[in-house]
Every structure is written in C-alpha cells, then in structure tokens.
Structure 1
Amino acid sequence: MNLLDAIREAGIVGAGGAGFPTHVKLKAKAEWFIVNAAECEPLIETDKYLCRTYADRIVAAAVIVAGHLQAEHTVIALKKKYRAEIDALRAAIDKAGAAIEICEMGVFYPAGDEQTMVQFVTGKTVPERGLPLDVGAVVDNVGTLLGIYDAMTEGKSVSSKYLSVVGEVREPIMIHTPIGTPITQCIEAAKPQLTDYAVIVGGPMMGRVLSDREAIRNAVVTKTTGNLIVLPRDHYLITRAGRPMERIRAQARTACIQCRMCTDLCPRYQIGHQIRPHMVMRNLYREQTISSNEEFLRAFGDAANCCSCGVCEMFACPMGLSPRKVNEYMKGALRERGLQPERNMKPEARPELDMRRIPTERLIARLGLSAYSGLHAHTCIELSPDEVFVPFAQHIGKPAQPVCKAGDTVNKGDLIAQAAEGALSANIHAGITGVITEVSAAGARISGRKEG
C-alpha cells in the first residue's frame, strides 16, 4: 500500500487541531516539508512529550513524507527552549543519517501557527487566506507524523490519542486514551483540585471553552484533542468566553480608543496581510447604515483575513475589548452579502515583525495562568474506558458515513464510518473492542462491558 492509501485508510488528519485530512494535504509536491513541534499555545505538553518519547518514529516518518513530496528542505521547527526535545530529535536524526534540519524558534506566541512558522522558516509569507503550499511548503504536526509511522509500519488506524491535562489538577499529566473517551475520565485521572470546574479543550487562546456541566459530561476525546485545561468557573478566561455578542459589539462601538495596538501586534498583519482590526472596530458603529457593498468591503473587508489567534483581545487591547469576536461577526456579515475581499497574493513581512512578537511568559501572565506555568507532564497514563462515543465528524469537511449498526461487534481499530464519497472527509475507527450500542448521524457508542 502506498503512502497516501495507507494514510487515507488509517483516517489520519491534522493532529495539531485543524483536522485537515492528511491524504488530501499530501497530494502535492513541495520544496519545503516542515514538521511543526512548536506547541503553539501556552501550557500544552503533548508535542514535547512526543518529541522526547518517539523522536526515532517522528524522524522516520518525516523522511518518508519528505521523499513523497520530493522536498528539497526538511525542517523540524520547535522553540529553542525545548532543549531535551531538541537533543532527542538531533540524536534520532544522526542515528537515521537523515537530511533534516532543526529550526530553533523564539519563545513567542503564536510560533506554532502554520503561517507564522512558514514565514519564520522559509522567509516567505503565505498569501491571504491561502495555504503553505502556495509558497511551496507543507506543514504537518508531530502527532500526525506519529500516526503516519504507525500506519506505514504496522497498518494501524487512528483509534487513540495522546493529550495533556493541566491547570487545577494535582500535577500536569499526559494521557494515552481511545478516541471517544469522555474528557471527564481524563480529568479524573489527573486528580482535579476542584469538584466543580470549567474546561478549555485545547489552548487558552483558541481552545473551546466548556462551562456548562452537561456539555462537559458529553464532551469526548477526538483526533484533534491535544490538551485539557481545568479552571475555576470564575476564572477570567471562562467568564470572558461567556460574553454575548451584542454586548461585545456595544462595547466595541463605545469604548474603543483607537490606539491601534490590536493591529500593530496582530501576527497576520506583521507577516504582511491586510488586516487592521482597529479599522474594523472604528467602523462598527455604522454597520447598519452602509448599503453599498463596495463601502462595506472598505470598512470591514479586512476581517476576512483574521485567523482568530486572539492576540488582539487577550493581549493587545488595553480596554479589554474583543476585536477577534468582532472580526468573526463581520466574517459572517460579509458572507451574508456574498462579498469576498481581494487577496494579496504576494504579501511581504513588515520590517518590525521581530520586535512585535508576543513573549509567551508575558502572555501567560496576562491570561492569569502563571500559577500553572513551568509545571511539566513527565508521566503518561494509559486509560481503558468501558464505553466510548466516537463522533463521525472529527475533521474539516463532511462527516464520515457509518458502516456499522447497533449490535455489531467491533475490534479496536475497525472501520466504523467511511469517508464521505467525493468530498473532503476521513475514515473513522473504533476506539475500543466491544459492541456497538448506538449509531446516529453524530457518531457511534461502543460498550466494552461484558454482557450478562
């Protein structure tokens, strides 16, 4: 079986969070193949653990993928402070005799952002709303490469996931658990220090905030889950996430002081994209009075280039406003009008780029997370849940279509939903061995409990 077929059959998607089906991404040739090991957001431990523990496998998979892409340059990019991880990767590269470079990045946010990383490594800026391939680069996360290694060497499908659990727990831990495991089981394994808590699935800047108790109970581990942050319900990040959009818009219309810090510190603006959040905020008061599509584009078109990294609202704005949420709102307004701003296909990074990087430790302090900083996960726990619920939509594109029914017996790794025909999609596999007890459009429930 060739590389793309093995990846497609295994259901491998971008493990770094986006979930783009990897067999589609790798249908290409590229000058640069970049392995993303930079752990974009604060507090996440997963990529570091994988680099320390599975460096040989990551390097072996990188060689395979780079060969497939016919890449002239293969680079593993990670932050320069990750000394143990860099040493492990260098040793694996030397052992394999691989032509792979290590790129040591600064300790800033968002170093692990795909487009920021491409610009840092290659010196080229990806076009607005474009892909790294537009400048001859392909980027894959280390977790994705580990999945490729397993698929190519052992024929394994993606049925389990590594993730870190941090925050209000006894100590940060790594967990290896089947896809579909309730996140509450992962949190309990980390021994939470609170009986009533909220959770951020992912990182503190771009992660999904769960404060509703039922939502927390129903949430499960998916292919893109890399981290869980356990926080008090009254933490700033939790209460801020609950602000209604109308309140956010009202605050923007009345309290913005036009300091333009949101623009000056915007990572996309600094790599050369046309995005000026302060101008979107300035024009928000007249949103309802603009009838001309041309004028609407001039006022709000920049919002289309927002990547929702959160720098503007979590770090830059001295008034505590939410330019990111306003940009997301205006993206919807642009879609409703059927408007698509022109793209700059050859953007160039601004000369002050390096001086406008956001130091990670300062960001952590601003987020109110300093109490959890500097604590690292050294232990990995294997979980074996009795029951899992495996969603059919764990990726960008159309949900997979079920090929199982209630009452079927499945083994861990068996195909239970097939990638949608003729669409961007990915296969879904059983997380545990057991009996299918429920199948719906959303997913399949598998019970590993013995009957009788």
Structure 2
Amino acid sequence: MDLVELVRQAGVVGAGGAGFPTHVKLNAEAEYLIINAAECEPLLQTDQFLMRERAMELVAGILLAKAQVKAQKAVIAVKGKYIREVRCLEDAISQLDADIAIHDLQNFYPAGDEQMTVFEVTGRSVPPGGIPLNVGCVVSNVMTMINVFEASQNIPVIEKYVSILGEVREPRVIKVPVGTSFDTCLEAAGGTTISDFCIIRGGPMMGGMIDQSQQPGMSITKTDGALIVIPSDHYLVTRAKETEIQMLNRARACIQCGFCTEQCPRYLIGHPLHPHKMMKAVKYAEDFNESHHEALLCCGCGVCEMYSCPMGISPRQVNFYIAGKLREKGIRYQHDDSEVIARDGREFRKVPPARLISRLDLNKYDHQPLKEFREVSSDRVCISMWQHIGAGSQPVVKVGDVISKGQLIGEIPEGKLGAMIHASISGRVTEVSDNQVVIARSQGS
C-alpha cells in the first residue's frame, strides 16, 4: 500500500485548523514541501511542544511526504525565537541524515498563514484565489507530518495534542482521545480560575468563541489545537457576540482611512484585496456582484479589525458578509493570470505579536508557564463526522456495536472529498447520527 493510501486509510487531515484531507494534498508533485511550524496565532504552544518532544517523528514524516510529492526541497518554516525547538529539529535532522532545511521566520502575525509562509520561504506569491501548488509548493502542519509518519505505521488519527491556556489553574499541553469533552480537558488543567467564562477554540484571532451554554456539547476534533479560557466580559467575547445587523450598522462609521488595506497580509503579497473598499461597498451598494469579488480573497486573519482599524469596526466581517452574498449567487473569484508582485513596504507593515497581544488585552496569558505534560483518558467520546473540509463521513457502525480503539467508524462518501474517522477508545456505541458517533468505554477496557 503506497503512502497516499495509508494516509487516506488513517484519516489524516490538516491538523493546524483547516482540516484539508492530507491524502489529497500528497497526491501531487511540487518543488517545495514546506512545513508550517510558526504557531501562527498568539498564545498557542502546542506546535512548540511537538517540535521539542516529537522531533524525530516529525522529521521522519517530512521525509516520507517529500519523497511522495517528489519535492526538490523540504523546508521547516519556524520562528527564529524558538531556540530550543530549532535545536531539537536540528538534532533530529542530523540523526536521520535528512535533507531538510530550516527557514528562520521573523516573529510577526500571521507568519503561519499558508500563503505568508510560501512567500517567506520562496519569495513567490500564490495567485489570488489560488493554492500553494500553483507556485510549486505543498504546505503542511507540524502535527500533520507526525500523523503522516504514524499512518505509515498503520496508526490512525485518534488522539490530539491540545494546549489548555488562560484562566485555568494548571496551564498545560495534554494528549486526549479525539472526541474528549471540553469539560474533561479543562479538568486536566486543574479547572478554571473563574466561574463566568468563555472558551476560545483555537487562537484569539481566528478561533471560535464558545460560551458556557454551548460547552457541554463540545468535544475535541482532529483540528483542535488549543482551548483558551477568558472572562465572559472580555473584549474578544463582546466582539464575537456582535450581531450581523450591529456589524453592518457600525460599518457606516468607516472613515476610509485605508489602514485596514495597508496592513492586510494578502494585499501586501500582491492580492487585489482592499478591505476599505469593501467597507464602502457595504455602506452604499444595493447589491453585490462580480465587481465585489475581491472580498472572496479574505483569509480571515483579523489584522484589519483587531489591529489596524482606528474605529474598532469590522472589515473582516464585512468581507465575510459580502463573500457570503456572492457565493449564494455562485460567484467565484477568477484570477486574470497576471503576475502577482508583492507590494513595496511589506517588511515594514508586519504586525508584531507583542503589540497585537496588548491590543487584544491578553498580556496576562502571554508566555504562560506550562505544567507538566499529561495524557488524559476518557470514558466517553463524542466523535464528530465533520472534522475536515469536504463532506461529512458516513457512520459504518450502529448502536450496540462493541468496537476496538482504532476501528473504522466513519467512511468517506463515494466520490466526495473527505476523511476516514476511527474510534478513539474501545467500548460500546451508544449513539449514531449523521453528525456524530458516541462511544462509552466498556468495563475493564
């Protein structure tokens, strides 16, 4: 069985948050294989932990993927400030005699954005609406490469490393079975230090906001990398709860200063994305059409609204709103094949993470010292059938089935983009729906 099929059978997807099925990404040829090790979002520490503790498996996975895509160059793009992590990577590369380079990234946000990483490593701009493969690159995440190595050993993706941070008594990285409840994860970090809180699922710039009423039904998926607990009256929570009507009404306060555009990462690598123009469009346009298609280029990094805008309004959400209206009409971005050239001054407009963290009022949680790593077991898991880009997986088990850890429980629908799903614990199936499979651990298993 070749690597692509092993990766497909193991259910490997992009572990950095996107969840794109990795067997599809590896079924290509590219000049560069680039490993995104930048830990893009502020506060997060999971990839740093993995680079320290699982560097050998990471490098082994990179070598397998490099051979598969016939890459001439394999590059780990990592922030130079991660001195310990770089040393561990260098040791692993030396021990495996691997032809892998380490690219020293500057410390800026969003250094880990896929298209930013491509530009930093190669100097090439991915065309608007395109993918890294258009410029000869395949980009993957640290944990994804570890999962590729494990897939080569017939080990499916059934566990996840997650940073538990913020208002918890014992911030730490934990390893849990996929489908473990958020409650169990918080308990593994000593519980919360406050009673009224929300959870950021992912990073503070692009992660989802989970309030306490939603928390009981939430569980870890293959793409989760962090849970950050913050007070329910925090600035980020208030912004996240803004309604669409409120967002659109506040957009009318835009003064057209252009700061959102001048610091937009996609604009700076040469894309024709102008958030301030979209703010004007939502203010005056009666309808949206192909002339507004640049809104479809927004990557959602949040620099425009969380850092650049002096009015505290929401260019990102306006882009999303317009993009949604365009997709309803079947409008897609069409690049004219012209050369994409990065704009002058890009190097001087990069966002310093320390200043960003300060603006987000998250200084209290920056560089939190972590307690010892912990592996966490779970007696009950709720495993989502929608853990990836594409179609949801189709359950292949029924209520009452006794299954083993690692057993297939969800298949890719015929002819669809998707990923296999496996049982993360041994036990009995207690619930099956189109959305999830619930497994309870059997006595003594």
Shorter-chain-normalised TM-score: which range?
Answer: over 0.9
Superposition deviation, residue 96 in structure 1: 1.1
Q: What's the CA shift string for 1:264-314, capped at 9, x where partnerless? A: 0000000000100001112222222x5xx7xx433x222111111100010
Alignment of 1:173-192 (within 5 A): 173-191=172-190, 192=192
String of CA shifts for 1:7-61, please: whole Å, max 9, x gaps: 0110000000000000011110100000111101011111000000011111111
> Does residue 111 in structure 1 map to residue 111 in structure 2?
yes
Report deviation, 1:344.
Answer: 4.7
The count of corresponding residues between Structure 1 and Structure 2 is 442
> 1:70, CA displacement in angstroms?
1.1
Equivalent-residue separation in structure 2 for 1:377 and 1:36 (angstroms): 23
CA distance in 2: counterparts of 1:26 and 1:327, whole angstroms? 31
Question: Equivalent residues in 2 for 1:247-258 (5 A)?
Answer: 247-253=246-252, 255-258=253-256
User: In the alignment, what sits opposite 1:326?
Assistant: 318
SS at match of 1:157: coil
Secondary structure in structure 1 of the residue aligned to 2:382:
strand
Partner residue of 1:396? 389
Answer yes or no: is the 8 Å Cα contact 1:164–1:377 preserved in 2.
no
Query: What's the TM-score once normalised by structure 2's chain length?
Result: 0.97
What is the CA deviation profile of residues 327-386 of structure 1, one whole-angstrom value per residue up to 9, with x for unaligned ones? Answer: 000001212333334315431111211111000111100101000112243521111111
Aligned residue type for 2:219: V
What's the offset of the Cα at 1:418?
0.8
Aligned 1:207-246 pairs, distance under 5 A:
207-211=207-211, 213-246=212-245
In the aligned structure 2, how far is the partner of 1:140 from the partner of 1:283? 35
Alignment RMSD: 1.2
Separation in 2, partners of 1:117, 1:329: 27
Give the % identical residues: 46
Say which SS state the counterpart of residue 383 (structure 2) adopts.
Answer: strand
What residue number does 1:202 align with?
A: 202
**Residues in 2 aligned to 1:102 and 1:431: alpha-carbon distance in whole angstroms:** 34
Q: Deviations over 1:73-114 (max 9, x none)?
A: 110011110000000000111111111100010110000000
How far, CA to CA, are the matches of 1:39 and 1:339 in structure 2?
33
Counterpart for residue 260 of structure 2: 262
Q: State the partner residue of 1:386.
A: 379
Aligned: 1:371 with 2:370: no
* Counterparts of 2:332 and 2:50, CA distance in 1: 40
1:303 is aligned, of 281, 292, 295, to 295
- The one-letter amino acid paired with 1:283 is A
User: How far apart, CA to CA, are the structure 1 residues paired with 2:133 and 2:294?
Assistant: 23
Give 3-state SS (helix, strand or coil) of 2:155's partner.
coil
More deviation, 363-372/327-336: 327-336
Contact 2:170 2:371 in 1 (8 A): no
- 8 Å contact 2:164–2:189 — kept in the other structure? yes
TM-aligned CA deviation for residue 237 of structure 1 = 0.5
Once the two structures are superposed, the pairs formed by residues 39-438 of structure 1 within 5 Å of their partners are: 39-153=39-153, 155-191=154-190, 192-211=192-211, 213-253=212-252, 255-288=253-286, 290=287, 296-298=289-291, 300-345=292-337, 346-377=339-370, 379-438=372-431
* Amino acid of the structure 1 residue aligned with 2:168: V
SS of 2:78's equivalent in the other structure is strand
Which residue of structure 1 lines up, in the alignment, with residue 32 of structure 2?
Answer: 32
Q: Residue 45 of structure 1 contacts residue 376 of structure 1 at CA under 8 Å; is this kept in 2?
A: no
CA contact (8 A) 2:129 2:334 kept: no
In 1, Cα distance between equivalents of 2:126 and 2:256? 28
Counterparts of 1:219 and 1:450, CA distance in 2: 24
4+ long deviations beyond 6 Å: none
Amino acid of the structure 1 residue aligned with 2:255: I
Task: Specify the code of the residue in structure 2 equivalent to 1:339.
Answer: I
- Provide the TM-score with structure 1 as the length reference: 0.96
Give the 3-state SS of the residue equivalent to 2:161 in structure 1.
Answer: strand
Distance 1:103 1:149 in 2: 22
Q: CA-to-partner distance for each residue in 1:173-214, whole Å, 9 max, x for gaps?
A: 001000000011101211211123100100000001012x23
Distance 2:350 2:336 in 1: 23
Does the CA contact (< 8 Å) of 1:171 and 1:375 recur in 2? Answer: no
Q: Counterpart of 2:377 in structure 1: which amino acid?
A: S
Q: Is the 8 A contact 2:169 2:189 kept in 1?
A: yes
Deviation at 1:443, TM superposition (A): 1.0
**Runs of 5+ in structure 1 lacking a partner?**
none
Please give the alpha-carbon distance, in whole angstroms, between the structure 2 residues aligned to 1:49 and 1:257. Answer: 43
Q: Secondary structure at the match of 1:170?
A: coil
Corresponding residue number in structure 2 for 1:7: 7
Whether the 8 Å CA contact 1:402–1:416 is kept in 2: the answer is: yes
Unaligned runs of 5+ in 2: none
Whichever residue aligns with residue 169 of structure 1, its letter is: V
CA shift digits 1:132-168 (9 cap, x unpaired)? 0000000110100111111113x11011100101111
